[in-house]
Amino acid sequence: MNADAGPGGADPTPIGGGRTLDGMAAQVSIIMGSDSDWRVMEAAKAVLDELGVASEVDVVSAHRTPQKMVDFARGAADRGVRVIIAGAGGAAHLPGMVASMTRLPVIGVPVPLEKLDGLDSLLSIVQMPAGIPVATVSIGGARNAGILAARMLGAFDAELGTRLDAFAAELERQVDGKAQALRERVATGERAETGA
């Protein structure tokens, strides 16, 4: 297992041929500049799995494996991929470079690093020139990237649309439950702990 595997122990092992480990054609490809980015990017895979969207995972470095990046970007659509989620930290050129070589939508995830807390990554990804769009989520926002990819696909897939509706209803139920719990705490005079 990779030392950088996420909390679930999953390893970002490359999956070839556009197929997931269970043989399904991957609709979403999740790529990252380094295996150390998996700690953030795993959240995209987790939410896609939750929503029943087949995905693949790979490490594709814009700087250390440029030819692999070119081959990946130019071949993704032919392999059946419909959306690409690309995460990178630091200079974070991966999402933009991939977007420049494919007609598929690319969602960029700025991966926070020690220096600048991911602000450098965010600015590298979000400031794309006209004609080469990258949809950019928040710093470390891989979960939202997965949800956005599912929404893109769900616009043309009624079954996935139904699962997304159920997902949204569950979020609403959770918020309602938290709001009710807070109202009850306030009504009983419970105070929030402060650092003072």
State the Cα–Cα distance between residues 184 and 196, nearest whole angstrom: 24
Q: What is the pLDDT of residue 189?
A: 87
Q: What is the mean pLDDT of residues 1-26?
A: 50
Question: Based on the number of CB atoms within 10 Å of its own CB, is 79 exposed (0-12), middle (13-18) or buried (19 or more)?
Answer: middle
Whether the pLDDT of residue 11 is over 80: the answer is no
Closest CA to 84 of 113, 117, 48, 112: 48
- H or E, element range at 76: none
pLDDT at residue 20 in the model: 56
Helices (H), 87-187: 94-99, 119-126, 142-154, 158-187
Question: Residue 14: its pLDDT value, please?
Answer: 45
Residue 9: phi and psi, rounded to 5, are: 80, 0
Q: Which residue has the higher pLDDT, 19 or 165?
A: 165
Residue 62's pLDDT is what?
Answer: 95
19, pLDDT greater than 80: no
Every domain of the chain and the residues it spans: 1-156, 158-189
Q: What is the mean pLDDT of residues 37-61?
A: 97
pLDDT value for 94: 97
- The rounded mean pLDDT for the chain is 89
Distance of alpha carbon 56 from alpha carbon 92, whole angstroms: 20
Q: For 93-150, how does the pLDDT look when each residue is reduced to its tens digit (9 = 90+)?
A: 999 999 999 999 999 999 999 888 999 999 999 999 999 999 999 999 999 999 999 9
* Percentage of the chain exceeding pLDDT 70: 87
Q: Which CATH architecture has domain 1-156?
A: 3-Layer(aba) Sandwich (3.40)
The model's pLDDT over 155-183, given as tens digits with 9 standing for 90+, comes to: 999 999 999 999 999 999 999 999 999 99
Residue 193: band (very low, low, confident or very high) from pLDDT cuts 50, 70, 90: confident
- Residues forming beta bridges with residue 100, ordered by sequence position: none
Query: What is the percent of the chain where pLDDT is above 90?
Result: 80
pTM for the model:
0.85
Binding residues: 34, 37, 64
pLDDT at 21 over 90: no
Q: Which parts are annotated binding residues for substrate?
A: 34, 37, 64
pLDDT for residue 1: 32
